[in-house]
A = this chain, B = another copy of it.
Amino acid sequence: MHKNIIVMKFGGTSVSSIEKIKKVAERAVKLKNEGSNVVITVSAMGDTTDDLIDLASGISQNPSRREMDMLLSTGEQVSSSLLAIAINERNSKAVSLTGWQAGIFTDDTFSDAKILTIKNDRIFDEFKKDNIVIVAGFQGITNNMDIATLGRGGSDTTAVAIAAALNAKHCEIFTDVDGVFTTDPNMIADAKKIDVLSYDEMLELASSGAKVLHLRAVEFAKAHGVKIHVRSSFNNNEGTWVMNTEKINEKMEQAMVVGVSYDTNQVKFSVFGIPDKPGIAAQLFSGLAKAHINIDLIVQNVGENGIAAISFTIKKEDLKTGEKVVKALQQDLGIKNIEIDTEIAKLSIVGAGMKSHPGVAAEMFSSLGSKQINIEMISTSPIIISCVIRKERISEAVKLLHEVFGLNK
């Protein structure tokens, strides 16, 4: 009698119209009729979230985050109820639940809340009533009964967190591509779909520019051992499985590099002429942290006379705030001058196999060097090597590394 539970997640483009919502309903009903209990997490329809943000910006340049969450959470509530209606129309039972109705409790970091716990009774009650359960993505409720959202892309996290809370067989993330690719298929025509990735590989790909899966969702999946299947909402092809790959890898030869990713949405700050004293970098970076700015790559050089230079990259949307923060600290920290470079790109290669192949970094750098592509910053970890290059060279560099590491075969 015990049925498999499968969680499906559909993004905003998959529910952007009535017709697409009907397609999602069709797919969900099919899965249920094959004998599973089904939970569906949906994002807001198409541009809804942006439209709501526009409304708010017409009133205030700095709206309360609590009120923004109240506002934005309606988008997923709309798509959820419409999907329930579409499933009913296919003679299948369904119920839509907001985040709070689904028992998703978060902390109170409005607009970027973390899921604390999921009380799964309501969802199990609805399974007993033979319902497909639709859960509005991207949102939960604080202990003070305020609506909080998980930040952009948070519907992935909702889906994975629910899969963990229900001990689901796996979590299917539907998207507009066939899975995770060895590099961006829009840029490199012979990019190949990856069949299986470890959580760490997926994490590095997600953090280094691949937009197919939300970073936090992968972290959550890793922490709770949730198997994720990233696949297309337009066909029934197998996509990419993100899972614990240790057992698989014991048996098969492991690919050294699984993917090449890039990010052209970063800017580089360089601050020159700061005294090489302990605590200066800490003050700089804690100032940025207070302004909720995440720093990606950091390079610090000590020059002559104990005068240091620090370069770091942040997201393009944080440019203005970042500039304000650094300028405010300039006098205190003794910074001589500040340079901002918007013409950079980050280029990364990812693969758990690199751990046992120490020559990979060297191969990457020499390949780039052979084409006169200058490397401006470098960051390495056991399974990812990233470097900053000129933005105008990124497409060429991605294609080069994709070939050098045999990902086009």
Binding site for B on A (CB under 8 A): 18, 21-22, 52, 55-56, 58-60, 63-64, 66-68, 70-71, 73-74, 77-78, 80-82, 84-86, 88-89, 95-96, 98, 101, 122, 145-147
Contact A85–B101 (Cβ < 8 Å): no
- Residues of B near A82 (CB, < 8 A) are 55-56, 59, 71
**14 additional A-B residue pairs with CB within 8 Å, beyond A59-B82, A74-B74, A77-B77:** A56-B82, A56-B85, A59-B89, A60-B85, A63-B88, A64-B88, A67-B88, A67-B95, A67-B96, A68-B85, A70-B80, A74-B78, A98-B147, A101-B145
From residue A370, how far is it (CB to closest CB) to chain B in Å? Answer: 55
Q: Is the CB of A89 within 8 A of B60?
A: yes
Contact status B60-A86, CB under 8 Å: yes
Q: Which of these, B64, B77, B85, contacts A59 with CB under 8 Å?
A: B85
Q: How far is the CB of A135 from chain B (nearest CB, A)?
A: 12
What is the minimal beta-carbon distance from A74 to any residue of chain B, in angstroms?
4
Check if B71 sits within 8 Å of A22, measured CB to CB: no
Inter-chain contacts of A85 with B (CB < 8 A): 56, 59-60, 63-64, 67-68, 71
The answer to whether A77 touches B86 (Cβ under 8 A) is no
The residue from B18, B60, B81, B122 contacting A71, defined by CB atoms under 8 A apart: B81
Give Cα A70 to B88, complex, Å: 15
- Of B18, B56, B73, B146, which contacts A58 at CB under 8 A? B18
A77 lies within 8 A of B78 (CB): no
A86 to B55, CA, bound (A): 11
Known A-B contacts A101-B145, A122-B145; the reply to A59 vs B86 at CB < 8 A is: yes
